[in-house]
Amino acid sequence: MTIKTDKISVEQICAIIDEMYHCMDDYLYVYDIINDFYYISPNAAERFDMPSNNFNNVLEAHHRFVFPDDMPVLQKDLDKIVSGECKSHNLQYRWMSKDHKPIWINCRGTVSYEGDRPAFMVGCINEIGKTQKADNISGLLGLASLQQFLETYKDALPKGFVIRLGLDDFKEINEKLGSDYGDMLLRETAKYIGDCLLENQKLYRAVSDEFIIIDFDGNSTEQAVEEYKSIRHAIDSFVEANHYEAVFTISGGILEAEDCIANNFTDIMKFSEFALNEAKRRGKNCCYIFTHKDYDKFLRKRHLTQLLRRSVTRDFEGFEAYLQPLFATSSNELYGAEALMRFRTDEYGMVSPAEFIPVLEETGLIMPVGKWMLHKSLELCNTIHKYIPNFRISINISYIQVLKSSIISDILSAVDEHSISPSTVIIELTESGLVTADSRIDKLWSRMKEEGIRLALDDFGTGYSNFNYLKDLKPDIIKIDRSFTMKAIENPYEFNLLSLIANMAHNMELKVCIEGIENLEELDKIKNISPDYCQGYYFGRPCPFNEFMETYIQSK
């Protein structure tokens, strides 16, 4: 249909836009083709990187706020409109926001004519990627509505709390019973949560299987915990009433309103998401109350992860192999050294291995870093062999490396590359790793023994002890952890237990290494159980290679 311009003018359309834009989320516009003039709802200029909500040189001005890759398709479409070839406009492309992020829009319009000549185009623009304000599955308002509600509090949030709820393992239900069944569970979950709401509370559907309760009525986190328990009980009742067709639980993250210092939607979302994730991390089907202390630890871990990834891409910048001496107890002579991974950053200085190694294992970065550590340790050992040919180097292997990398070929390749005698290499694996690594440990252990590499079971006696490991795996060495050593020194019963373990190991022709010896008194007492090797601060702390060489090798 062709609209004639004698019915309405561009100026009148602009006036209508000014009157109507307050009442809608979309953006109305008019493009005066004859005068090359563009007018759009004033709130569009607040959202997008346009010069203002009205401007001339329309096509040229669009270059400023249209995503560059999308400009050719827009220009092609506008050329057809200006030439009269096309009488309507319907195009999906991207505009740039004020913070220079591409935003998907759908722009539609109808062209009015002055005779046979295109005069102006009037239409509507909506953000097609914008979060919906309501959810038809649960029957609840969505995050966009929650954001609008929070914006009504200009200065500070009232006293109260936020509870973010999430179904545990909901993905498995969808995969097993189908998305329609999953939608039914979400509807029922919303209903049961709604039945537990207190007066003046609001309930919103967040992402996926998550819901958010807002309470700005002065209630405390203690009341929030009680409400969570009521919701959890209601969900348990639903699962039972549903004859356990789908068994699921619900976790909750609780956030005090006063913890949202910035008083904005972004803080509430990120803090509540952290709180819910923390509840799930702590075992699920429980609630967790947000603290800034825990959140700061989370941010540090996330930043540390970024630093570790960057280090790997920069040829392991910041990583270093420290050496701690191992001494033969009978002769009190240097037997070898344990290679220990260290990591230093400009931001945090030296980071504790207890902090960064779990991150390496969780992210899988332990595989490239562990391989680097293996090569570095053998490289250092090769240098020491010029002074002490039978010097042993002990290297820790993570069970993640056993499970997910070609660890056997990595070890053998490194031994060959650095011209190291296999008999001077000791591979250590923590006892706790055996619980997870199962049969793959057998394969590693057997192959290493075939090659003449010695094997050590680290941290023996720290809680996972299973004497079957000694019988089945037959390690060459068991290493007694410092915590066990201290108990034995301080407690006669523990000392007798350690003596029995040492005697048993010796009867099985295994060597015993006692870790954590810090003074002469401890050493004298530990010598009564006749350990083969000792290690600890009394003999020397872990130190950089150059310091190790000066102290233990070149000074001899």
Alpha carbons 366 and 234: distance in angstroms, whole number: 43
Instruction: Give the list of residues 6+ apart from residue 162 with CB closer than 8 angstroms, or none.
Output: 212, 213, 214, 215, 254, 255, 257, 268, 272
Per residue in 20-45, pLDDT tens? 988 888 999 999 999 999 999 999 99
pLDDT band at 5 (very low <50, low <70, confident <90, very high): very low
The structural architecture, per CATH, of the domain 3-127 is: 2-Layer Sandwich (3.30)
Alpha carbons 65 and 76: distance in angstroms, whole number: 17
Per-position DSSP letters for 119-153, written without gaps between them: EEEEEEEEETTSPPSEETTTTEE-HHHHHHHHTT-
Taking residues 409-437, report their average pLDDT.
83
pTM of the model: 0.75
Q: Check pLDDT > 50 for residue 55.
A: yes
Q: Check pLDDT > 60 for residue 435.
A: no
- CATH 3.30.70.270 corresponds to the domain 134-290: yes
Q: Compare 300 and 131 and report the one with higher pLDDT.
A: 300
Q: What percent of the chain has pLDDT over 90?
A: 70
| Nearest to 15, CA basis, from 41, 33, 48, 34 | 41
- Helix pair 366-384, 353-363: axis angle to 10 deg: 130
The structural architecture, per CATH, of the domain 320-342+364-553 is: Alpha-Beta Barrel (3.20)
Q: What order of strands is seen across the sheet that includes strand 202-205?
A: 134-135, 140-141, 202-205, 210-215, 161-167, 250-256, 287-289
Residues in the chain: 556
Q: Domain map of the chain by residue range?
A: 3-127, 134-290, 320-342+364-553
Q: Which two tokens stand for residue 414?
A: 């490194």
Residues facing residue 54 across a β-bridge: 39
Q: What pLDDT, on a 0 to 100 scale, did the predictor assign at position 181?
A: 92
CB of 340 closer than 8 Å to CB of 324: yes
Q: Which two tokens stand for residue 381?
A: 């050992």
